[in-house]
A and B are shown apart, each in its own frame.
Chain A
Amino acid sequence: MDALDPTIHQPARLQIMSALTQLCGDHRVDFTFLKDRLGLTDGNLGAHLATLEAKGYIAVDKQFVGRRPKTFVRATPEGKLAFTQHVAALRSILGTP
């Protein structure tokens, strides 16, 4: 049986991982775009991304779009696996497959 992952279970990080695992393959999403979709503040999102990045669950890339630096975020394969296992653990608590 999969165990719950305390890093992912925190509500904001759960939202972040849910959103990032919806992207195809190596697609990445802009920081501001993600912030608006999830209704988080800059500081809040930045802090949670740092926690997830430290665990290796997400990768953060800084790129230039035109002349402006932009931050793009994506879930790593380890992050996707950890999230899948976390969801399986939640379902097993409810007794659903």
Chain B
Amino acid sequence: MNITPEQAAHALREIENSRLAMRKAVQAHRGHLYLWLWGAIWAVMAVLNWSNPERYAWATLWLNVAGAFASFAIGFLQGRQIRSPIDKRFVGVCATILAFGYFVYPALHGGYHSYREAYACGMLIWMQLYIVGGLWFDNYWLWIGIAVTALILVGFLFLPAFFWGFALLGAFTLLGSGFYVRYSWR
């Protein structure tokens, strides 16, 4: 098969145009919606806990329920267009970490002893998933997980008076990562 240099140049331009169109579509299907959603939820929960944890305990619970439903909705809607295969081993690892974090640890530890501890444990469990997911799929989740884990641990262990400030910073890290993934990351 022989073609002229002009035809080759035209074909390469067509390739680049199609790549750009698909790249834009793929960018709109990255995990930024989850990062925005949960960044906002963790930020609101931090503010509520900071102000009056007893009064807003139910609100934080319902925020989590609403977030879970919204996450399923995002997954369902995005999965109709671009779909990734389900890695059952990774799902198993996630289930194990969540079961340990939410059931085994509180059972052995006699429950959570403060709202601060409950928030820190909840955030750390999910950041563990980010770290494992980042290592598993070799992507940006790893760095988000490490950064937020570090913030929460520093606030909880070394600067407890400023813990909710660190919690807010962790939530903003999720939000900011969402913007980076959506608009800057290639």
Do A and B originate from a single complex?
yes
Residues of A near any B CB (own CB < 8 A): 3-6, 9, 11, 14-16, 18-30, 33, 37-38, 63, 65-66, 70, 72, 87, 90-91, 93-94
Is B19 a contact of A65 with CB atoms below 8 Å?
A: no
> What chain A residues lie within 8 Å of B8 (beta carbons)?
90-91, 93-94
Is B26 a contact of A9 with CB atoms below 8 Å?
A: no
Q: How far is the CB of B70 from chain A (nearest CB, A)?
A: 18
Count CB-based A-B contacts (< 8 Å).
88
Chain B interface SS verdict (over half): helix
Is A14 a contact of B26 with CB atoms below 8 Å?
A: no
Contact with A along B75-106 (1 / 0, CB 8 A): 01001111111000000000000000000000
Candidates A18, A22, A28, A94; contact of B83 at CB < 8 Å: A28
Is B23 a contact of A22 with CB atoms below 8 Å?
A: yes
Q: How far is the CB of A29 from chain B (nearest CB, A)?
A: 5
Q: Is B184 an interface residue (CB 8 A)?
A: no
